[in-house]
Amino acid sequence: MKAIEITDVRKRYRNLQALKGVSFSVERGEFFGLLGPNGAGKTTLISILAGLNRADSGTVSVLGQDVVDDYRMARRMLGVVPQELVFDPFFTVRETLRLQSGYFGLRRNDDWIDEIMANLDLTNKADSNMRQLSGGMKRRVLVAQALVHRPPVIVLDEPTAGVDVELRQTLWKFISRLNREGHTIILTTHYLEEAEALCDRIAMLKFGEVVALDRTSSLLNQFAGLQLVLTLSRGTLPAELEALRTPGNPGERAYRLRLSGYEAVEPILAALRAAGCEIEDMEISKADLEDVFVQIMRREGEMPGSTPNAAMEAAA
Protein backbone atom coordinates (compact mmCIF):
# COMPACT_ATOMS: atom_id res chain seq x y z
CA MET A 1 0.00 0.00 0.00
CA LYS A 2 1.31 3.44 -0.96
CA ALA A 3 1.64 6.16 1.67
CA ILE A 4 0.22 8.70 -0.79
CA GLU A 5 -1.57 7.97 -4.07
CA ILE A 6 -2.49 10.93 -6.30
CA THR A 7 -4.28 10.09 -9.55
CA ASP A 8 -5.19 12.55 -12.33
CA VAL A 9 -5.99 15.42 -9.94
CA ARG A 10 -7.38 18.57 -11.54
CA LYS A 11 -8.36 21.87 -9.96
CA ARG A 12 -9.53 25.14 -11.52
CA TYR A 13 -10.02 28.54 -9.89
CA ARG A 14 -12.14 30.58 -12.30
CA ASN A 15 -9.79 31.21 -15.27
CA LEU A 16 -6.77 29.54 -13.64
CA GLN A 17 -6.17 25.82 -14.12
CA ALA A 18 -4.13 25.24 -10.95
CA LEU A 19 -3.66 21.47 -11.39
CA LYS A 20 -3.72 19.69 -14.74
CA GLY A 21 -4.01 15.97 -14.19
CA VAL A 22 -1.32 15.51 -11.53
CA SER A 23 -0.44 11.89 -10.82
CA PHE A 24 2.28 10.36 -8.63
CA SER A 25 2.63 8.15 -5.56
CA VAL A 26 4.82 8.21 -2.47
CA GLU A 27 6.13 4.98 -0.96
CA ARG A 28 5.80 4.21 2.74
CA GLY A 29 8.86 5.38 4.66
CA GLU A 30 10.03 7.61 1.81
CA PHE A 31 11.39 11.15 2.17
CA PHE A 32 9.75 12.84 -0.82
CA GLY A 33 10.33 16.35 -2.16
CA LEU A 34 7.70 18.44 -3.97
CA LEU A 35 9.36 21.40 -5.70
CA GLY A 36 8.35 24.10 -8.12
CA PRO A 37 8.29 27.87 -8.74
CA ASN A 38 5.59 30.27 -7.59
CA GLY A 39 2.17 29.28 -8.88
CA ALA A 40 3.20 25.73 -9.72
CA GLY A 41 0.31 24.22 -7.75
CA LYS A 42 2.12 22.78 -4.73
CA THR A 43 0.06 24.53 -2.06
CA THR A 44 -3.18 23.68 -3.89
CA LEU A 45 -2.15 20.03 -4.02
CA ILE A 46 -1.26 19.96 -0.32
CA SER A 47 -4.59 21.59 0.62
CA ILE A 48 -6.38 18.86 -1.34
CA LEU A 49 -4.26 16.19 0.34
CA ALA A 50 -5.13 17.62 3.77
CA GLY A 51 -8.84 17.74 2.96
CA LEU A 52 -8.95 21.55 3.12
CA ASN A 53 -9.88 21.80 -0.56
CA ARG A 54 -11.55 19.50 -3.04
CA ALA A 55 -10.25 18.52 -6.44
CA ASP A 56 -12.54 18.99 -9.42
CA SER A 57 -11.65 15.46 -10.51
CA GLY A 58 -9.17 12.72 -9.69
CA THR A 59 -8.47 10.91 -6.43
CA VAL A 60 -6.10 11.32 -3.47
CA SER A 61 -5.58 8.71 -0.77
CA VAL A 62 -3.44 8.43 2.37
CA LEU A 63 -2.49 4.85 3.24
CA GLY A 64 -5.44 3.63 1.22
CA GLN A 65 -7.96 6.06 2.75
CA ASP A 66 -9.61 8.45 0.29
CA VAL A 67 -9.30 12.04 1.53
CA VAL A 68 -12.95 12.76 0.57
CA ASP A 69 -14.83 9.52 1.17
CA ASP A 70 -12.75 8.51 4.23
CA TYR A 71 -11.80 11.99 5.44
CA ARG A 72 -11.58 11.23 9.17
CA MET A 73 -9.38 8.17 8.73
CA ALA A 74 -7.19 9.87 6.11
CA ARG A 75 -6.76 12.95 8.31
CA ARG A 76 -5.68 10.85 11.30
CA MET A 77 -2.93 9.37 9.15
CA LEU A 78 -1.64 12.82 8.21
CA GLY A 79 0.28 15.53 10.04
CA VAL A 80 0.50 18.82 8.14
CA VAL A 81 2.83 21.75 8.88
CA PRO A 82 1.33 24.68 6.92
CA GLN A 83 3.17 27.82 5.85
CA GLU A 84 0.92 30.18 7.83
CA LEU A 85 1.43 30.83 11.55
CA VAL A 86 -2.07 30.59 13.04
CA PHE A 87 -2.51 30.19 16.81
CA ASP A 88 -4.74 31.13 19.71
CA PRO A 89 -2.48 33.69 21.42
CA PHE A 90 -3.90 33.05 24.91
CA PHE A 91 -2.96 29.37 25.20
CA THR A 92 0.42 28.21 26.44
CA VAL A 93 2.56 25.91 24.31
CA ARG A 94 1.58 22.88 26.38
CA GLU A 95 -2.12 23.80 26.29
CA THR A 96 -1.92 24.24 22.52
CA LEU A 97 -0.47 20.75 22.08
CA ARG A 98 -2.96 19.19 24.50
CA LEU A 99 -5.80 20.83 22.59
CA GLN A 100 -4.43 19.46 19.32
CA SER A 101 -4.25 15.99 20.89
CA GLY A 102 -7.91 16.31 21.86
CA TYR A 103 -8.89 16.95 18.25
CA PHE A 104 -7.71 13.41 17.52
CA GLY A 105 -9.28 11.89 20.63
CA LEU A 106 -5.98 11.40 22.43
CA ARG A 107 -5.90 11.58 26.21
CA ARG A 108 -2.92 11.19 28.53
CA ASN A 109 -0.61 12.21 25.71
CA ASP A 110 1.76 14.27 27.89
CA ASP A 111 4.72 11.89 27.60
CA TRP A 112 4.77 12.25 23.81
CA ILE A 113 4.15 16.00 24.07
CA ASP A 114 7.15 16.27 26.41
CA GLU A 115 9.29 14.29 23.97
CA ILE A 116 8.29 16.48 21.03
CA MET A 117 9.00 19.65 22.99
CA ALA A 118 12.39 18.32 24.08
CA ASN A 119 13.35 17.42 20.51
CA LEU A 120 12.27 20.85 19.22
CA ASP A 121 13.89 22.76 22.14
CA LEU A 122 10.51 23.96 23.38
CA THR A 123 10.66 22.59 26.93
CA ASN A 124 11.61 25.89 28.53
CA LYS A 125 8.70 27.57 26.68
CA ALA A 126 6.07 24.98 27.67
CA ASP A 127 4.21 27.37 29.99
CA SER A 128 4.66 30.52 27.86
CA ASN A 129 1.68 32.01 26.05
CA MET A 130 1.86 31.75 22.28
CA ARG A 131 1.74 35.54 21.92
CA GLN A 132 5.02 35.78 23.84
CA LEU A 133 6.96 33.60 21.42
CA SER A 134 9.20 34.71 18.57
CA GLY A 135 8.36 33.75 15.00
CA GLY A 136 10.91 30.95 15.07
CA MET A 137 9.47 29.50 18.29
CA LYS A 138 5.95 29.67 16.86
CA ARG A 139 7.21 27.74 13.85
CA ARG A 140 8.48 25.02 16.20
CA VAL A 141 5.06 24.80 17.86
CA LEU A 142 3.48 24.47 14.42
CA VAL A 143 5.69 21.44 13.75
CA ALA A 144 4.89 20.01 17.19
CA GLN A 145 1.14 20.34 16.51
CA ALA A 146 1.49 18.32 13.31
CA LEU A 147 3.31 15.53 15.16
CA VAL A 148 1.27 15.36 18.35
CA HIS A 149 -1.03 12.53 17.17
CA ARG A 150 1.91 10.44 15.86
CA PRO A 151 0.86 10.48 12.20
CA PRO A 152 2.57 7.95 9.91
CA VAL A 153 2.63 10.52 7.07
CA ILE A 154 4.01 14.03 7.68
CA VAL A 155 3.64 16.92 5.21
CA LEU A 156 6.02 19.86 5.69
CA ASP A 157 5.05 22.92 3.64
CA GLU A 158 8.01 25.33 3.80
CA PRO A 159 8.79 24.39 7.44
CA THR A 160 12.05 26.38 7.62
CA ALA A 161 10.92 29.53 5.79
CA GLY A 162 12.20 32.58 7.64
CA VAL A 163 13.76 30.68 10.54
CA ASP A 164 17.31 30.62 11.85
CA VAL A 165 19.98 28.03 11.15
CA GLU A 166 19.70 26.54 14.64
CA LEU A 167 16.03 25.69 14.19
CA ARG A 168 16.66 24.24 10.75
CA GLN A 169 19.30 21.91 12.16
CA THR A 170 17.14 20.96 15.16
CA LEU A 171 14.10 20.31 12.98
CA TRP A 172 15.88 18.20 10.39
CA LYS A 173 17.59 16.12 13.06
CA PHE A 174 14.19 15.25 14.58
CA ILE A 175 12.39 14.76 11.25
CA SER A 176 15.22 12.55 9.95
CA ARG A 177 14.88 10.43 13.09
CA LEU A 178 11.14 10.05 12.49
CA ASN A 179 11.85 9.07 8.89
CA ARG A 180 14.33 6.41 10.02
CA GLU A 181 11.64 5.08 12.36
CA GLY A 182 9.32 4.57 9.38
CA HIS A 183 7.39 7.84 9.01
CA THR A 184 6.76 9.04 5.46
CA ILE A 185 7.81 12.66 4.87
CA ILE A 186 6.60 14.98 2.08
CA LEU A 187 8.56 18.24 1.92
CA THR A 188 8.10 21.46 -0.02
CA THR A 189 10.92 23.96 0.32
CA HIS A 190 12.73 26.68 -1.60
CA TYR A 191 15.97 25.70 0.16
CA LEU A 192 17.07 23.32 -2.57
CA GLU A 193 20.14 22.20 -0.64
CA GLU A 194 17.76 20.79 1.99
CA ALA A 195 15.81 18.85 -0.61
CA GLU A 196 19.02 17.53 -2.17
CA ALA A 197 20.37 16.34 1.19
CA LEU A 198 17.14 14.88 2.58
CA CYS A 199 14.86 13.61 -0.19
CA ASP A 200 14.96 10.11 -1.69
CA ARG A 201 12.81 11.17 -4.64
CA ILE A 202 11.65 14.50 -6.01
CA ALA A 203 8.69 15.65 -8.10
CA MET A 204 8.86 19.05 -9.80
CA LEU A 205 5.67 20.91 -10.69
CA LYS A 206 5.30 23.63 -13.30
CA PHE A 207 2.02 25.32 -14.24
CA GLY A 208 0.07 22.57 -12.47
CA GLU A 209 1.83 19.65 -14.17
CA VAL A 210 4.52 17.21 -13.09
CA VAL A 211 7.54 17.99 -15.29
CA ALA A 212 10.08 15.77 -13.50
CA LEU A 213 9.78 12.79 -11.16
CA ASP A 214 12.74 10.63 -10.20
CA ARG A 215 15.21 9.70 -7.51
CA THR A 216 17.30 12.69 -6.44
CA SER A 217 20.52 11.00 -7.51
CA SER A 218 19.06 10.20 -10.95
CA LEU A 219 17.95 13.79 -11.49
CA LEU A 220 21.43 15.03 -10.60
CA ASN A 221 23.07 12.58 -12.99
CA GLN A 222 20.58 13.00 -15.83
CA PHE A 223 20.26 16.77 -15.91
CA ALA A 224 23.44 18.01 -14.32
CA GLY A 225 26.65 16.04 -13.72
CA LEU A 226 29.96 17.78 -14.36
CA GLN A 227 30.17 21.21 -15.97
CA LEU A 228 33.05 23.16 -17.45
CA VAL A 229 32.52 26.85 -16.70
CA LEU A 230 34.45 29.09 -19.10
CA THR A 231 34.89 32.84 -19.41
CA LEU A 232 36.56 33.95 -22.64
CA SER A 233 38.64 37.12 -22.96
CA ARG A 234 38.66 36.78 -26.76
CA GLY A 235 36.41 35.00 -29.22
CA THR A 236 33.08 33.27 -28.86
CA LEU A 237 32.13 29.67 -28.32
CA PRO A 238 32.74 27.59 -31.47
CA ALA A 239 29.62 26.21 -33.15
CA GLU A 240 30.71 22.59 -32.60
CA LEU A 241 30.59 23.14 -28.81
CA GLU A 242 27.09 24.67 -28.72
CA ALA A 243 25.52 21.23 -28.29
CA LEU A 244 27.29 20.91 -24.92
CA ARG A 245 26.06 24.24 -23.64
CA THR A 246 23.69 24.37 -20.65
CA PRO A 247 21.65 27.38 -19.47
CA GLY A 248 23.39 29.89 -17.24
CA ASN A 249 22.10 32.67 -15.03
CA PRO A 250 20.72 35.83 -16.71
CA GLY A 251 23.53 38.27 -17.60
CA GLU A 252 26.27 35.74 -16.94
CA ARG A 253 29.35 36.04 -19.17
CA ALA A 254 30.49 32.49 -18.60
CA TYR A 255 29.71 29.55 -20.84
CA ARG A 256 28.59 26.36 -19.08
CA LEU A 257 29.42 23.16 -20.96
CA ARG A 258 28.17 19.72 -20.01
CA LEU A 259 30.94 17.16 -19.46
CA SER A 260 30.63 13.40 -19.82
CA GLY A 261 33.76 13.08 -17.68
CA TYR A 262 37.04 14.77 -16.90
CA GLU A 263 38.55 13.30 -20.07
CA ALA A 264 36.18 15.49 -22.12
CA VAL A 265 37.95 18.70 -21.06
CA GLU A 266 40.97 18.45 -23.40
CA PRO A 267 38.94 18.10 -26.65
CA ILE A 268 36.98 21.20 -25.63
CA LEU A 269 40.17 23.16 -24.98
CA ALA A 270 41.56 21.98 -28.33
CA ALA A 271 38.43 23.25 -30.12
CA LEU A 272 38.77 26.62 -28.36
CA ARG A 273 42.44 26.92 -29.34
CA ALA A 274 41.62 26.05 -32.93
CA ALA A 275 38.97 28.80 -33.00
CA GLY A 276 41.48 31.35 -31.67
CA CYS A 277 39.71 31.79 -28.33
CA GLU A 278 41.54 32.98 -25.23
CA ILE A 279 40.37 31.78 -21.81
CA GLU A 280 40.06 34.32 -19.01
CA ASP A 281 38.79 31.91 -16.35
CA MET A 282 37.93 28.23 -16.17
CA GLU A 283 36.66 25.81 -13.56
CA ILE A 284 35.06 22.37 -13.38
CA SER A 285 32.01 22.21 -11.13
CA LYS A 286 29.65 19.46 -10.05
CA ALA A 287 26.12 20.73 -10.54
CA ASP A 288 23.66 20.65 -7.63
CA LEU A 289 19.89 20.46 -7.39
CA GLU A 290 19.52 24.18 -8.06
CA ASP A 291 21.23 23.69 -11.43
CA VAL A 292 18.90 20.77 -12.16
CA PHE A 293 15.87 22.84 -11.17
CA VAL A 294 16.88 25.72 -13.46
CA GLN A 295 17.50 23.36 -16.39
CA ILE A 296 14.17 21.58 -16.01
CA MET A 297 12.15 24.76 -15.56
CA ARG A 298 13.76 26.36 -18.63
CA ARG A 299 13.29 23.21 -20.63
CA GLU A 300 9.58 23.41 -19.84
CA GLY A 301 9.40 27.15 -20.58
CA GLU A 302 10.41 29.83 -18.11
CA MET A 303 7.65 31.44 -16.08
CA PRO A 304 6.91 35.03 -17.12
CA GLY A 305 8.92 37.56 -15.16
CA SER A 306 10.72 34.94 -13.08
CA THR A 307 14.38 34.36 -12.43
CA PRO A 308 15.98 31.19 -11.02
CA ASN A 309 16.27 32.70 -7.53
CA ALA A 310 12.95 34.52 -7.47
CA ALA A 311 11.17 31.48 -8.79
CA MET A 312 11.97 29.55 -5.62
CA GLU A 313 11.14 32.29 -3.12
CA ALA A 314 7.93 31.78 -1.19
CA ALA A 315 7.18 28.78 -3.41
CA ALA A 316 3.48 28.20 -3.78
Looking at the fold, whether 68 and 158 belong to one and the same domain comes out as yes
Q: What is the pLDDT of residues 79-130, one digit of tens each?
A: 999 888 878 888 999 999 999 999 898 988 999 999 999 999 999 999 999 9
For residue 255, tell me if it sits in a domain: yes
Looking at the fold, whether 156 and 282 belong to one and the same domain comes out as no
Strands 209-215 and 65-66: unpaired
Q: Of 192, 220, 248, at which residue does a domain stop?
A: 220
- In the predicted model, is pLDDT for residue 303 greater than 60? no
For residue 98, tell me if it sits in a domain: no
Q: In what order do the strands lie in the sheet with 65-66?
A: 16-26, 4-13, 57-62, 65-66
Looking at the fold, whether 159 and 256 belong to one and the same domain comes out as no
Per-residue pLDDT band at 301 (split at 50, 70, 90)? low
- Please count the other Cβ atoms lying within 10 Å of the Cβ belonging to residue 13: 11
Q: Taking residues 46-71, what's their average pLDDT?
A: 96
Looking at the fold, whether 59 and 168 belong to one and the same domain comes out as yes
Residue 277 belongs to what domain range? Answer: 226-286
Query: What pLDDT is stored for residue 44 in this prediction?
Result: 94
Looking at the fold, whether 26 and 60 belong to one and the same domain comes out as yes
Looking at the fold, whether 9 and 73 belong to one and the same domain comes out as yes
For residue 58, tell me if it sits in a domain: yes
136: burial class by Cβ within 10 Å (0-12, 13-18, 19+)?
middle
For residue 314, tell me if it sits in a domain: no
- Is the separation of the CB atoms in 160 and 189 below 8 Å? yes
> What is the Cα–Cα distance from 168 to 159, expressed in whole angstroms?
9
> What is the Cα–Cα distance from 110 to 72, expressed in whole angstroms?
23
For residue 83, tell me if it sits in a domain: no
Looking at the fold, whether 215 and 249 belong to one and the same domain comes out as no
How large a percentage of the chain has pLDDT more than 90? 65
**How many structural domains comprise the chain?**
2
For residue 138, tell me if it sits in a domain: no
Q: What is the mean pLDDT of the chain?
A: 88
Looking at the fold, whether 212 and 273 belong to one and the same domain comes out as no
Query: What pLDDT is stored for residue 250 in this prediction?
Result: 64
Q: Taking residues 41-47, what's their average pLDDT?
A: 94
Per-residue pLDDT band at 162 (split at 50, 70, 90)? confident
Q: Of 220, 238, 265, at which residue does a domain stop?
A: 220
Q: What is the pLDDT of residues 180-228, one digit of tens each?
A: 999 999 999 989 999 999 999 999 999 999 999 999 988 887 765 788 9
Per-residue pLDDT band at 135 (split at 50, 70, 90)? confident
Looking at the fold, whether 65 and 163 belong to one and the same domain comes out as yes
Q: Of 205, 220, 235, at which residue does a domain stop?
A: 220
Looking at the fold, whether 54 and 157 belong to one and the same domain comes out as yes
For residue 205, tell me if it sits in a domain: yes
Per-residue pLDDT band at 296 (split at 50, 70, 90)? confident
